[in-house]
Amino acid sequence: MKKQNILLALAALLVFANAAWAGNGPQAPTTLKADVEKSTLTWNGKKVTGEHTGTIKLSNGSLQVNGAKLVGGSFDIDMNSIVCTDITDAEYNTKFIGHMKSEDFFNTAKFPTATFKITKVKAKGGQNYDVTGDLTVKGITKPVTFPVVLKTDGTPSTTISRLISNSWQRNKS
């Protein structure tokens, strides 16, 4: 049995609806619930012979903010919602997604949800942060750190956008 490394990259556009967002000084942390219908995770998987891209949906998520500062959060990712957007042949796309959901990759029958829980937030100035958290896929938890840009447009919605990258090993017979 040989192991292959797979690069999992998720670009996130997450929308939060909560009128309590305020940028004025310290206060008790506020939880902003993700609007899962408007939020998007875009994945990119690379291998030696090429790459594929697609989307995957959140099933739940929230951020904790203290004033205008990000302090925590967690997200549940619906692994059964994975879609490949770069394969245009319908039959091949269906086979590819079936393979991605199989035991060879994400085993969505056994592990329908992946999670990300923020464990540390380091302010880098302005709206920029380094976020560290535990990413759990297929029951395997790995720490990841990545840069985040937290933006607000002055309305009750907030957007967090950045990239999560991690190398996952899978067993291949």
- Could you read off the pLDDT of 37-89 as tens digits, one per residue? 888 788 888 888 888 989 899 899 888 888 778 889 999 999 999 999 999 99
pLDDT at 95: 96
In this prediction, residue 165 has a pLDDT band, given cuts at 50, 70 and 90, of very low
Tens of pLDDT along 106-132?
999 999 999 999 999 998 988 788 889
Range of the structural domain that residue 163 is part of: 2-172
Average pLDDT over residues 5-32: 56
pLDDT for position 24: 52
In order of 18, 25, 45, 152, 161, the CA distances from 165 in angstroms are 28, 32, 10, 24, 13
Given this model, what pLDDT does residue 146 score?
Answer: 82
Cβ-contact 36, 61 below 8 angstroms: yes
Report pLDDT for 96: 94
Predicted local confidence at residue 89, as pLDDT: 97
CATH assignment of the domain containing 161: 2.40.128
Q: Stretch 21-40: mean pLDDT, rounded?
A: 72
Q: Is 164 exposed, middle or buried (0-12, 13-18, 19+ CB in 10 A)?
A: buried
Q: Looking at the chain, list the stretches that DSSP marks H as alpha helix, in order from N- to C-terminal side.
A: 90-101
Burial class (CB in 10 A: 0-12, 13-18, 19+), 131: buried
Q: How far apart are CA 24 and CA 138, in angstroms?
A: 40
How high is the pLDDT of residue 34? 83
Share of the chain above pLDDT 70, in %: 71
Q: What percent of the chain has pLDDT over 90?
A: 32
pLDDT above 60: residue 151: yes
Rounded to the nearest 5 degrees, what angle is found at the Cα of 112, between the Cα atoms of 30 and 82?
90
CA distances from 116 to 12, 72, 127 (A): 12, 11, 21
Give the residue, 169 or 47, on which the prediction is more confident. 47
SS3 call for 104: coil
Average pLDDT taken over every residue of the chain: 77
Rounded to 10 degrees, the C-alpha dihedral 93/94/95/96 comes to: 50
CA atoms of 90 and 95, how far apart (whole Å): 9
pLDDT range class, residue 91, cuts 50, 70, 90: very high
Rg of the chain in Å (alpha carbons)? 17
Residue 127 is predicted with a pLDDT of 79
Q: How many structural domains does the chain have?
A: 1
